[in-house]
Structure 1
Amino acid sequence: MRILVVADPLAGFKIYKDSTYAMMREAASRGHQILACLSSDLRLKNGIVEAQAQVVVLTDTQSGHDWYRIVGEEIIALRDVDAVIMRKDPPFDQQYLYATQLFSLAEAQGARVFNRGQALRDFNEKLAIFQFEQFIAPTMVSQSIADLRAFVSEHDDVIVKPLDGMGGVGIFRITNNDANLGSILEMLSQNGEKPVMAQKYLPAIKDGDKRILLIDGVPVDWCLARIPQQGETRGNLAAGGSGVARPLTARDREIAEALGPQLAAQGLLLVGLDVIGDNLTEVNVTSPTCFQEITAQSGINVAGLFIDAIERKCV
């Protein structure tokens, strides 16, 4: 197979933990050819969606920046590769939106894109949880500072976050008595011009913000609990949290098995559910991570499961 990976620059990959690297390594080990490009390398010419792509060969090096070599470049129609894997990190900005629209055009021309362009547009990673309200804690979204203040007043201990962030950026824990309450809400909402999500604080975060991976609707049997460091609210690894792999609990599996078939049916091959305690907090669809951490601690070849799914869809 020829697999086109649309991602951030390869030179910036931290390959000791990068899930996209794990996917590429697994695919290459099976003899598949890897091509890579940025979302800015996509184009529409003569009605055909193309990419100016680099042909990538992975080396035996397991660290540093020499883990790959570029052995060629080509302009290729997305319909002419076996699979396109979208792995660009958020934010879901205008550039990202345009990329998903090009993917949808390419799919109409016969391209196989994972996750599908329409699904990426439909599933805001924060708002998507409202499709599964039976599993969520008290949550609201508003750009009205008065609304947000009222929610904090009702629940007292609240997490607020932007709708387009990742890695814990812009997440605050606030209470009724927080001297910075007004400033935080004004900053996140850009003075009432931008929607903000507010969720009741879940004390179970001390046991970890669990990342549950769904591959073609089926949960990986172990999750990664991202545990906040001392004095922190955020469990995100990018915010200093530590990752501990654990078998899924009965509740984890209940949530995953309820959501999995619905998400897969809408074109989401890979999804990362975030669960704190018994509550679903996010549905991550852009570039879900934690492959390597789960593999290292559980022995489950997560990248192998993902490439298995790609092969089933495309071979």
Structure 2
Amino acid sequence: MKIAFIINDHVTEKPNYTTPALGYAAYKRDHNVFFIGVGELAYASDGHLSARCKTITGKKFNNQETYFKAVQKEEFTKITSAELDVLFLRNDPSDEIDEREWAQNAAFIFGEIAMQDKVLVLNHPSTLASAVNKMYFQHFPEILRPKTIITRDQQEIKDFFKEQKQKMILKPLQGSGGKNVFMMDSKSEKNLSQTIDAICRDGFVIAQEYLPEAKNGDTRLFLMNGVPLQSADGKYAIMQRVNASGDIRSNIHAGGKPQKVKMTDQILELAEIVRPKLVQDGMFLVGIDIVGDKLMEINVFSPGGLNVMGEMYKTDFAVEVIKSIEKKVHYNDTYEDYLFNSRLATM
């Protein structure tokens, strides 16, 4: 099959990221793999999606890093949606805030165009467009979520702070990777107004219940087709992300340290509650972040850490993702126009 991955930019994409791991897994299975930066997308006069991309063929590589470094050195070539089987949207819109506002919605818009050529687009672009901020998270059952308000009203946030006995988390509605996340308590109360103002400059503020278990970090679990992702040898794509000293953020990019963690019945039950909406929305591959018995975040854009988990458990999770996509392409070819992209994405 011909599969293209949309990334933010070739310059900023690191060879050890999850998307290159997925690309390498597809390459090893003899598929044609293309990487497209958001700024390289275009709409052609014949009605197709067109893109400048980088690809490599006919060479063997020992690992994903040597593979992707070789890809990055390649000259740009062109591909259109008429030639593709799969378009995997793996860019992170939050990385474009302030710098390239135009790039935030580009992948969803062009993904819709690709769907007209029967290209399988993952995750489903229409739903991704509605999940561009953390409000998407609020559509999941309340039993899963910490107590939360989303507002720009300082007094509402201060009242919530009192309700939470002077301990809460503040973060922007838009963003990921632990950016601008603050833990407010009685010691930092003097900075509360200033912190709210700083976050408000970028939009709405999320004020969230502080969970004491958060001091131990969080658990990242990958879900594929709505269920926990497992390797061929039965290992789960799950890890504990331990906070760096003195930091409430457990994201690996923010200094969190990954550790092995065992799957529990509680986590499986939580994943099962999440499953129906993810399946309905066409969310093929997502990362959920768990603290205690609560879901803290759902990353539907470019969840990271799959390669880290693979190294940790000495298994290959990325190949299972590619195998699942192969089945979807087969279904898409067999059923022609009978299957909607949103349904096919999680089948």
TM over 0.5: yes
User: Matches of 1:291 and 1:56 in 2, distance apart?
Assistant: 23
More deviation, 86-95/101-110: 86-95
Question: 1:270 maps to what in 2?
Answer: 285
What amino acid is aligned across from residue 190 of structure 2 in structure 1?
Answer: A
Distance 1:43 1:13, change over 3 A: closer
RMSD over aligned Cα, in angstroms? 2.1
Give the alignment of 1:63-212 within 5 angstroms. Answer: 63=65, 66-68=69-71, 73-91=76-94, 93-124=101-132, 126-132=134-140, 133-155=142-164, 156-177=166-187, 178-190=189-201, 194-212=203-221
Change (3 A) 1:79 1:160: farther
Which string of whole-angstrom CA distances, capped at 9 and with x for unpartnered residues, describes residues 76-111 of structure 1? Answer: 222421111111123164422132112112213322
| Match among 250, 256, 260 for residue 245 of structure 1 | 260
Is 2:27 the counterpart of 1:24? no
Q: Quick check: 1:212–1:223 contact (8 Å CA) kept in 2?
A: yes
**Does the aligned pair in 2 maintain the 1:39–1:99 contact within 8 Å?**
yes
Are the structure 2 counterparts of residues 244 and 148 from structure 1 closer, same or farther at C-alpha, using a change threshold of 3 Å? Answer: same
Q: Is 1:60 the equivalent of 2:71?
A: no
Code of the residue aligned with 1:286 in structure 2: it is F
**1:56 Cα deviation from its structure 2 partner:** 2.8
Sequence identity (%)? 26
* TM superposition shift of 1:69: 5.9
Alignment size in residue pairs: 312
Question: Aligned to 1:260, which of 272, 275, 280?
Answer: 275
SS at match of 2:190: coil
**More off after superposition, 18-27 vs 109-118:** 109-118
Equivalents in 2 of 1:23, 1:110: separation in Å? 22
1:45 deviates by 1.9
Alpha-carbon separation, structure 1, partners of 2:299 and 2:320 = 18
Contact preservation (8 Å) 1:59, 1:68: no
- For 1:120, give the aligned amino acid: L
If the length of structure 1 is used for normalisation, what is the TM-score? 0.91
Q: Which residue of structure 2 aligns with residue 297 of structure 1?
A: 312
The 1-side partners of 2:72 and 2:186 are apart by 54
SS in 1 for 2:157: helix
Q: Are 2:40 and 1:33 aligned?
A: no
Deviation of 1:141 (Å): 0.6
CA distance in 2, matches of 1:288, 1:213: 8
| Counterpart secondary structure, 1:229 | coil
Equivalent residue, structure 2, for 1:51: 51
Offset, 1:310? 1.0
Give the Å deviation of 1:75.
2.9
CA contact under 8 A between 1:225 and 1:246: conserved in structure 2? yes
Amino acid at match of 1:142: T
Aligned residues of 1:124 and 1:163 also touching (Cα < 8 A): no
Distance (whole Å) between structure 2 residues aligned to residue 124 and residue 307 of structure 1: 25
Other structure's SS at 1:14 match: coil
User: Runs of 4+ in structure 1 displaced over 6 angstroms?
Assistant: none
C-alpha separation between the residues in 2 aligned to 1:30 and 1:303?
Answer: 11
Distance in 1 between the 2:13 and 2:62 partners? Answer: 13
- Which among 223, 232, 246 is matched to residue 231 of structure 1? 246
CA contact (8 A) 2:22 2:321 kept: yes
What secondary structure, in the 3-state scheme, does the structure 1 residue paired with 2:219 have? strand
Distance in 2 (CA, whole Å) between partners of 1:38 and 1:60 is 23
Mark the runs of 5 or more structure 1 residues left unpaired by the alignment: none
* Cα distance, 1:15–1:158 mapped onto 2, change above 3 Å: same
Distance verdict in 2 for CA 1:175–1:79, change over 3 Å? farther
Which whole-Å deviations, capped at 9, do the CAs of 1:228-285 have from their partners, x for residues lacking one?
0221111111111101121222121111122124212311111111111110111111
Residue 232 (structure 2) aligns with: none
Distance 1:4 1:144, change over 3 A: same
1:177-216 superposed Cα distances (whole Å, 9 cap, x missing partner)? 52211100000012xx721111111111122211111111
Q: Which runs of 5+ in 2 are unaligned?
A: 230-235, 331-347
Deviation at residue 309 of structure 1 after TM alignment:
1.4
CA distance in 2, matches of 1:280, 1:42: 34
Partners of 1:189 and 1:69 lie apart in 2 by 38
Summarize the Cα distance change of 1:129–1:311 in structure 2 as closer, same or farther, 3 Å threshold: same
